[in-house]
Structure 1
Amino acid sequence: MILVTGGTGLVGAHLLLHLLQLGKEVKATYRTTSNLKEVEKVFSYYSEASNSLFKKINWVEADLNDIPALEIAFQNVTQVYHCAALISFNPSDYELLRTVNVEGTKNIVNLCIAHQIKKLCYVSSIAAIGRTLDEQAATEETDWTTHHANVYALSKMDAELEVWRGSQENLPVVIVNPGVIIGPGFWDTGTGLLFQNAYKARKFYPPGGTAFVAVQDVVSLMTQLMDAAVKNEKFIAVAENLSYKEILDRLTKAFNRSGPKIQLKFWQLELFWRLDWLAVLLTNRDRRLTKNSVRSLRKTQRFNNSKSKEFLGRSYESLENIITLSCAKFIEENP
């Protein structure tokens, strides 16, 4: 039996579908606020048998910090995919990020050890990959520093340390560090917001860029690592390093809309994050832009995926197919 935490997220939903199509028995955790229909909807994007596949999932209501509920979820489990996480770049969410991403991962690791789980796969992020000082692409071995790291990156790095602790206690682990994950569904959270912004066809675009990857590539890499004889290793999962203008151009083209033309100036961004801070102070809404976010735009960091290619013989799909599918589904659901 395989346990997937965070089964109601983009990666978790696609992973569940992939595992079920392979004929695996799966459990998945969800929270009371989760929408299981969103998962079934994702299944329908790829399979006519989406309803019957969805019904095969053994859902367990369990928060990452609810040990008794997690104990139930771990019964008769041999492998664990830990996909659950909180994504926020708001400095005021730092303690909550630690509670979910760090303490939650600590609990998963401890339970894996206690239940003698055969292998744990942890979904981290390129946020927990070090940055280079020159134009070289970062690798899994690039030194990581807390200097200028945002609160999300700090939480993911500390969560990785919990996973490595587990490896020192004889728990076989693998860590996947995806770039920005492109995939359909969950339009109001995470990278779904990228599709929302592209659909609005704004004239402005931010400087800088990052690495992107199709959700199917992330899921495929995860299952490949769990089935391979590899352990206690981490792997960057990226398909392409793109500027934000390049990814927005591709998305707006798929939406048949005009791409952005004007790059935002750094003085404008410096002003915007201060105004955003003031607006949050007055209205208590979520942060949309932070000081560290603007700082990260000053250097486009590229990421090297050669370890997964050489170690596992992998290749990565072009982003065009997943962009086309995602934009088509977005239009269907947001007429």
Structure 2
Amino acid sequence: MILVTGGTGLVGSHLLLQLVRSGFTVRATYRQNSNLKRIEKVFAYYDQKAGELFAKIEWILADLNDIPSLETAFQGITHVYHCAALISFDPKDYDILHKINTQGTANIVNLCLAKNIEKLCHVSTIGAIGKSLDGNVATEENEWAEEDTNVYAMTKHAAEMEVWRGSQEGLSVIIVNPGVIVGPGFWEDGSGKLFTTAHKGYAYFPPGGTGFITIADLIRIMTKLMDSSSMNQRYITVAENVTFEHMLGMLTKYLGKPKPTKKLAFWQLEIGRVFDMFFSFFTGRARRITKNSIKSLKTRDIYDNTKIKKELNFEFAPLEETLSFCCARFMEENL
């Protein structure tokens, strides 16, 4: 039996669909107040028998830091996909990020060891890949340094250290480091905000860019790695390194909005950061622009996907096909 943590997120929901379609017996964790109906809706994007497929999943209410509930979730499990995480780049959220992303992962690793789990797949981020120097591409071997790193990446890197600890204690592990994940159904969360932002038709676009991957490709890679003999390895999972100008240009094309034509200057971003800091202080809203986020726009990394392509003889799907599909779903649900 397979356990998927974070079954109500973008990665978890699409992974669950793939697993039940493939005939696996699956259990998934969810948190209090999670919207399980949204998962069935995601299934319906791809399959007319969404309700039947959704009904095959055994759902367990479990928090990553609630050991008794996790003990229940681990009963009879042989393989674990750890997808659950909190995403925030606001420095004031460091403590909760550490509790969920780092301590929560430590709890998962400890239970995997205690229950003799055959293999663990941990979903990390390219944010946990060390920065490159002198314009070199970023690879899995880059040395990690916390300098100029956002709080989310810090806690995800620390989570990877817990996974490597598990491997040293005999647990077979795989870590995937995806770029920005493009997929439908989560328009107000994480990467889904790209669609919401593009739909507003802003004239400006931020400088820089990053690595992107479709949700379908990420799920294919994860399941293939779990079925393979590969163990105790990490893989950058990025299909394309794309500028934000190009990404927003593709999105606005499929959303029927004007393409942004003006690049934000760094002095404008600095002014925006100050206003964002004050707005966050007085309203409690999470920070959206930080010093580290601005610095990351100045020193963009290009991510190398050679390792995963060679390991699985893998070919990535074009981003634009998935963007078109996602934009169509966004328009159906938001207009």
Give me the TM-score of the superposition, normalised by structure 1.
0.99
Q: Secondary structure at the match of 2:28?
A: strand
Counterpart of 1:270? 270
- In 2, the alpha carbon distance for the partners of 1:279 and 1:124 equals 30
Q: Secondary structure at the match of 2:190?
A: coil
- In 2, the alpha carbon distance for the partners of 1:141 and 1:91 equals 27
Query: What amino acid is aligned across from residue 6 of structure 2 in structure 1?
Result: G
Contact 1:88-1:97 within 8 A present in 2 as well: yes
Q: 1:71-127: per-residue Cα shift (whole Å, max 9, x none)? A: 000000000000000000000000000000000000000000000000000000000
Q: 1:282-308: per-residue Cα shift (whole Å, max 9, x none)? A: 222211111111111102211000000
Counterpart of 1:250? 250
Counterpart of 2:325? 325
Report the Cα offset of residue 137 of structure 1: 1.4
Query: What amino acid is aligned across from residue 11 of structure 1 in structure 2?
Result: V
Structure 1 runs of 4+ with >4 Å offset: none
Counterpart of 2:174? 174
Q: 1:138-191: per-residue Cα shift (whole Å, max 9, x none)? A: 000011110100000000000000000000010000000000000000111111
Counterpart of 1:47? 47
Q: 1:185-220: per-residue Cα shift (whole Å, max 9, x none)? A: 011111111100011110001001000000011111
Instruction: Note the 1:160-239 alignment, pairs <5 A.
Output: 160-239=160-239
Which has the larger displacement, 134-143 or 34-43? Answer: 134-143
Asked if 1:113 is matched to 2:93, the reply is no
Q: In percent, how many aligned pairs have the same letter?
A: 53
Counterpart of 1:22? 22
Instruction: Note the 1:80-119 alignment, pairs <5 A.
Output: 80-119=80-119
- In 2, the alpha carbon distance for the partners of 1:283 and 1:183 equals 30
Q: Secondary structure at the match of 1:191?
A: helix
Counterpart of 2:132? 132
Q: Secondary structure at the match of 2:272?
A: helix
Report the Cα offset of residue 135 of structure 1: 2.1
Give me the TM-score of the superposition, normalised by structure 2.
0.99
- In 1, the alpha carbon distance for the partners of 2:33 and 2:236 equals 31
Query: What amino acid is aligned across from residue 306 of structure 2 in structure 1?
Result: S
- In 2, the alpha carbon distance for the partners of 1:161 and 1:214 equals 26
Instruction: Note the 1:8-19 alignment, pairs <5 A.
Output: 8-19=8-19
Runs (5+) with no aligned partner, structure 2: none
Q: 1:26-83: per-residue Cα shift (whole Å, max 9, x none)? A: 0000011210011000000000111000000000000000100000000000000000
Counterpart of 2:296? 296
- In 2, the alpha carbon distance for the partners of 1:298 and 1:46 equals 38
- In 1, the alpha carbon distance for the partners of 2:119 and 2:230 equals 10
- In 1, the alpha carbon distance for the partners of 2:212 and 2:138 equals 14
- How many residues were matched structurally? 335
Counterpart of 1:156? 156
Asked if 1:311 is matched to 2:311, the reply is yes
- In 1, the alpha carbon distance for the partners of 2:281 and 2:333 equals 34
- In 1, the alpha carbon distance for the partners of 2:287 and 2:33 equals 22
Q: Secondary structure at the match of 1:184?
A: coil
- In 2, the alpha carbon distance for the partners of 1:137 and 1:250 equals 24
